[in-house]
Structure 1
Amino acid sequence: MGAPTVRLRRLAAELRQLRKLAELTREQVNEQTGINVATLYRIETARVRPQARTLTSLLDVYRVAEPKRSELRTLLKQSATRGWLHTFPSDLPERYASYIEFESEAREVLNYECLFIPGLLQTERYARAAISGGDPGLAREEVENRVEARMRRQAALTKAEPLRLWAIMDEAAVRRVVGGHEVMREQLDHLLRIAELPTVQVQMVPFDAGAHPGMTGSFVVMTFGEAAGPDIVYVDSQAGDLFLEEEADIARYNLVFTHLRAGALSPSASASLIAAVAEDLRPG
């Protein structure tokens, strides 16, 4: 099926909750509807999109009345609508594809990065150097596919209703010279320009801030409109990518981001730090 849309994810969560409220196991739902237990599991985890008649059967068993019934039918129709990724000519890793689908429908992204410039703020040359350097085993074609996808993602910042981005970086992210001095200087200049957008906030956590809660790793919190469902936390690590949806996890990462925001330099002071680092990279 490919990466789930945000609305399919919300529909799955709604159906899980309705079954629990009805105090039914998947086996009991199977007995009353004939829907295979494995199929029901896949529906409830957004791995498949239910057919309209399947949804109707589930709503009947769960005794769902209007207007909730119509709301979920509408959600099913909307769940088939995909973003630009479905026309992307090359395959991307499943988790990355899911991330892109979620990001394309998010209203706001809170992004903390330890070592890299956030993907939404990267230049093409920096992205190419970061992707190839971060995963030396990638073939050149795979690197270029990911660079292209990263560049297309950035349209979210300038669309009619732009994505709101709050990016916080450790100072290491701008100090580490990725791709050489020229590429890094170009990247920092770009970062300063894009930080001037009214919907983009950029803050730096300086080295002299000492230990801080972001030192355990980078993460992203994505928030959506009411119609698209609850927030998602995305954590990227060497052990694998994780999507966290439990309220406790979301609250924990929001709290970490709040602490980072309070301990970081102001946006204007952050811009001064970035400009100073860029100046050090200029020849002569």
Structure 2
Amino acid sequence: MPAENEIDPSESLESFIADLVRDARKRLGWRQQDLAAKVFSSTTRISEIENGDPPDLKLGRQIDQVLELGGKLANLLTIRDRVAFRDYAQGFLRDQARARAIYEFSLVIPGLLQTPEYARAIMKLEDPDEVTDIESSVQRRSERQAVFDGPQPPWLWIVLDESALTKVMGSKRIMREQIEWLLEATERPFINVQVLRTDRAVIRGSVSLLTLPSGDRTAYTEGFGTGRYVVEATEVTLFQKIYDRLHADALGVDESRKFMRDVLGMHDD
């Protein structure tokens, strides 16, 4: 069970929620195990919440009710789930870095598997006026990939639309190097890629599903210029079903690796 750390409620929304729950619990004279019993959770989960790992909305509403918070906690969790445009990915990227498992469907090579040159080409396409610092963004994206070099790398399972491999992003050389990197990455047992052929149904956008250390599951969906991070269990289940259907229609892992090797020839100069 995590130790009770000092929390600065002004640091982040997560810290504010942690402080709110801890303060309300102590005001009632309860131990963490007392609160856990009243909301049918575990002492470990309550400790995680009080150390900055917020609950999903369902558990949050239960905690809100028993701590007599008058809807404050539920409202804060709803706000967290509806982050403003341009900030919508922050919660997802934070949780992705500590996830135990990541499942994703994507129309482009996912950020965790992008080469720097492919990432740069994608960013220039999405930001033609270069309003953002592209080089800094490429560096941050590359740094996030270090999660696979740690002692407990996450389980990564990607369903990749065929067009992500066949359409030229940047140049044929960039595409060839990107696909070669995919083939190298998928030699690691915890990284799997399945290709969804063009004759199969597809969704407009991407969906990512995370399994967090607490066991909570979240979903992130993204389209052109829009994104949404979902923590509500019923909505996460809906996106899980969408992913499962795409996963079932995709080529197997070995077939997908063969397809990627075949596609390499398309990108010869």
TM-score (norm 1): 0.70
Give the Cα–Cα distance (whole angstroms) in 2 for the partners of residues 51 and 222 of structure 1.
21
Residue type of the alignment partner of 1:137: D
Report the RMSD for the aligned CA atoms in angstroms: 2.8
CA contact 2:32–2:46 (8 Å) conserved in 1: no
TM-score (norm 2): 0.74
Partner of 2:24: 58
- C-alpha displacement of 1:67: 2.0
Q: Show CA shifts across 1:154-193 (max 9, x none).
A: 1112211001100011101111110101011000110111
Q: 1:184 to 1:274 in 2, by over 3 A?
A: same
Partner of 2:72: none
Residue 218 in structure 1 maps to residue 206 in structure 2 = yes
Partner of 2:144: 153
Q: 1:206 to 1:62 in 2, by over 3 A?
A: farther
| Structure whose residues are more often helix by fraction | 1
Partner of 2:239: 253
CA contact 1:220–1:235 (8 Å) conserved in 2: yes
Q: Show CA shifts across 1:107-128 (max 9, x none).
A: 11101002x1011111000000
Give the Cα–Cα distance (whole angstroms) in 1 for the partners of residues 45 and 148 of structure 2.
30
Partner of 1:97: 90
Residue 67 in structure 1 maps to residue 67 in structure 2 = no
Residue 79 in structure 1 maps to residue 57 in structure 2 = no
- C-alpha displacement of 1:94: 3.2
Mean alpha-carbon deviation: is it higher for 235-244 or for 266-275? 235-244
Partner of 1:137: 129
Residue type of the alignment partner of 1:106: A
CA contact 1:162–1:199 (8 Å) conserved in 2: yes
Specify every segment of 5 or more residues in structure 1 that has no aligned partner in the other structure, as ranges. Answer: 1-6, 8-38, 81-92
1:46 counterpart (2, 5, 13): 13
Give the Cα–Cα distance (whole angstroms) in 2 for the partners of residues 199 and 73 of structure 1.
30
Q: 1:246 to 1:276 in 2, by over 3 A?
A: same
Q: Show CA shifts across 1:238-261 (max 9, x none).
A: 352201111221111111111111
CA contact 2:18–2:52 (8 Å) conserved in 1: no
Residue 278 in structure 1 maps to residue 245 in structure 2 = no
Specify every segment of 5 or more residues in structure 2 that has no aligned partner in the other structure, as ranges. Answer: 3-8, 36-42, 54-85
Give the Cα–Cα distance (whole angstroms) in 2 for the partners of residues 49 and 78 of structure 1.
10
Give the Cα–Cα distance (whole angstroms) in 2 for the partners of residues 66 and 73 of structure 1.
6
CA contact 1:157–1:164 (8 Å) conserved in 2: no
Residue type of the alignment partner of 2:91: S
Give the Cα–Cα distance (whole angstroms) in 2 for the partners of residues 215 and 270 of structure 1.
19
Residue 235 in structure 1 maps to residue 235 in structure 2 = no
SS of corresponding position for 1:221: strand
Q: How many residues align?
A: 223
- C-alpha displacement of 1:61: 5.5
Give the Cα–Cα distance (whole angstroms) in 2 for the partners of residues 68 and 234 of structure 1.
33
Residue type of the alignment partner of 2:146: A
SS of corresponding position for 2:157: strand
Q: 1:97 to 1:58 in 2, by over 3 A?
A: same
Residue type of the alignment partner of 2:117: R
